[in-house]
Amino acid sequence: MVVSDIRMPGMDGLQLMEQIQQEWPHIRCMLLTGYSDFEYAKKALRLQAFDYILKPVNDEEFILSLSHAVESLKDEWEAAEKYDRLLYAMKSDSGVLKTSLMHDLVLGRTWSPKAVMEKLQQYDIPIAADESAVMILVQLGRQFSHFDHPSLMLMEYAVGNIAEEIFSEVMHIWHCKAPHDCLLIVASLKPAYRDSIGLQPDFEQLRRRKLHELAEDFRTQVGRYLKGDLALVITDWFPFPANMAHAYRSGLSSFMMSGGEEAGTILYLEDTQQACGTPMKSFETLYKPPTLIHLLESKQWEAARQKVNEVFADLENARYSREHLYEVYLLMTNAFMYIAHKQGQFAYQIDQSGFDLLHDQGMILSPDKLRSWACGMLDKIQSELSASEHYTRGYIIHQVQELVSGDLGQDTSVKTIADKVYLHPVYLSKIYKAETGESLGDYIIRMRMERALYLLKKTNKKIYEITAELGYQNPQYFSKMFKKHYGLNPNEFRDQ
């Protein structure tokens, strides 16, 4: 605080106060004067003087004014500290939310394009929708293997920061820990750099050359500062965020096929892809609703076990390849990890054996061994997550999801579901939203849209037949809902 007279040689108090406000705006100023001139008072107030005191000064009045100035400063400091704490908490929460969104996208959870756009904007993720992006899977080398879990998390955080610093030269990036045991970086070219090379005839070569240069620099800096090496798998460029799940599965498959690769390597998927005479056909059972993730999420254990058995029955009756086994392995580990993480646990803590292919490559070479592990993992997850669910919210959610998945016809609505679980519709909607983060009405619509997607892809049913099967009376309304969810109407989706 500065207490100053107005009349002084060289510079008067008002000039002094004006200069203080310019240089040190946090300082409180009080003016003393023997002149009760209103013009002085007006200018002092305009300069935001804390107080304006006339001489002769009353001591008690002066001390009271100083005390008020001190209290004012304390209030400012407390407000600033509260703001800093809030900002730190927001940044921490933002990291968790970004990671959760990344996991949902790479594990293939169905989101409407509008919802994804809102999330990207809300979380301030710098990669633009529909932008061409590339995914980099990062495996830490053996130099990091001796770290305990907290230390390893710190190393992963440092690796992410180094990636952000290196790649941000010409790229927007989004990075986090992947659902599987690696780090994940999604990157797109910044508009200025993309425009500078976009018209070049060798655009793709220039883009790859720059990406490789940054990847090598990334490895070098990690080695220099963290004393360890990395193995990188770089996917093909893809439309963001629509093809993230496909890019992730492709990158993860290459990691596994190469045994994780030795640290110090950079593997490009476009270099490893081989021409194939006929396209590989997926096993329909893997993707047929209700999916394994949905069955685990709603704790329908017997149905989940039946789903697993159906998948392996299909394997036995088909001429499967090694890639088919990878496909089954990835879908099942995705489901197990998703449900474990949703319950606040790490899947490898429930059973580590199937989540480290560096120790047991036979898991993805033998369908019998893979089936044995999947069934065992399902039993362990059920044992870990199913204790005492009766009369709890989790049990109610489980009932609701079973009812919805069992019938998507005309009678399926929030009210009919509420009647069946003996709760008021408003209360049921409230607890469902609180437990899952999704409204019950949106969940019913999402299940209908996923079922519609499957029927359009896998059957020859007419649009009006699908409309009726899903409980919609008006095909136009069904088409409107489908387009809102997926960006295309049913006929356009079927024709593409």
Q: Residues 375-387: pLDDT tens digits?
A: 888 888 888 776 5
Which pLDDT value is given to residue 260?
45
For the segment 178-203, the average pLDDT, to the nearest whole number, is 90
- Read off the pLDDT band of 224 (50, 70, 90): very high
Alpha carbon 122 to chain centroid, angstroms: 11
Phi, psi torsion values for 176, nearest 5 degrees: -170, 180
Q: Is 261 exposed, middle or buried (0-12, 13-18, 19+ CB in 10 A)?
A: middle
Give the start-to-end residue ranges of the domains of the chain: 2-81, 92-272, 284-385, 393-495
- Read off the pLDDT band of 114 (50, 70, 90): confident
Taking only the tens place, the pLDDT of each residue in 265-278 is 888 988 875 434 44
For residue 138, pLDDT beyond 80: yes
> What whole-number distance in Å separates Cα of residue 294 and Cα of residue 443?
11
In 226-258, which positions are buried (b, 16+ CB within 10 angstroms) versus exposed (e)? bebbbbbbbbebbebbebbbebbbbbbbbbbbe
For the segment 460-488, the average pLDDT, to the nearest whole number, is 88
Which pLDDT value is given to residue 250?
86
For the segment 70-82, the average pLDDT, to the nearest whole number, is 85
Model confidence pTM above 0.75: no
For residue 344, pLDDT beyond 70: no
- Read off the pLDDT band of 279 (50, 70, 90): very low
**Tokens found for residue 305:** 């076990």
Query: Residue for token digits 């709760």?
Result: 423
Per the DSSP assignment, residues forming a β-bridge with 138 are 183, 232
Which pLDDT value is given to residue 280?
44
Which pLDDT value is given to residue 78?
86
Q: Smallest Cα–Cα separation from 99: which of 337, 295, 367, 351?
A: 337
Q: Which of 40-54, 286-300, 354-368, 426-440 is the most confident on average? A: 426-440
Which pLDDT value is given to residue 363?
61
Under DSSP, the state recorded for 359 is T
Q: Which of 30-34, 110-114, 427-431 is the most confident on average? A: 427-431
For residue 302, pLDDT beyond 50: yes
Which pLDDT value is given to residue 210?
95
User: If you average pLDDT over every residue of the chain, what do you get?
Assistant: 81
Q: How many CB atoms lie within 10 A of CB 302?
A: 9
Q: Smallest Cα–Cα separation from 491: which of 450, 463, 461?
A: 463
92-272 and 2-81 share a CATH fold: no
> What whole-number distance in Å separates Cα of residue 384 and Cα of residue 342?
13
Q: Which fold is adopted by the domain 393-495?
A: Arc Repressor Mutant, subunit A (1.10.10)
Per the DSSP assignment, residues forming a β-bridge with 29 are 2
- Read off the pLDDT band of 257 (50, 70, 90): low
For residue 53, pLDDT beyond 80: no
HSE, CB side, 13 Å, CA atoms: give it for residue 309.
Answer: 6
Which CATH superfamily groups domain 92-272? Reverse transcriptase/Diguanylate cyclase domain (3.30.70.270)
Taking only the tens place, the pLDDT of each residue in 399-447 is 888 888 887 776 788 888 888 888 888 888 888 888 888 899 888 888 8
Element (H, E) at 177: strand 171-177
> What whole-number distance in Å separates Cα of residue 313 and Cα of residue 325?
13
Q: What is the CATH number of domain 2-81?
A: 3.40.50.2300
Taking only the tens place, the pLDDT of each residue in 352-375 is 555 554 445 556 666 777 888 888
Taking only the tens place, the pLDDT of each residue in 307-338 is 888 888 887 776 666 667 777 888 888 888 88
Residues 6+ apart with CB under 8 A from 66: 1, 3, 30
Contacts 24+ apart (CB under 8 A), 299-306: 299/382, 299/385, 299/386, 299/389, 299/394, 299/398, 300/398, 300/401, 300/402, 300/405, 301/378, 301/382, 301/386, 304/378, 305/375, 305/378
For residue 204, pLDDT beyond 50: yes
> What whole-number distance in Å separates Cα of residue 336 and Cα of residue 333?
5
Under DSSP, the state recorded for 53 is E
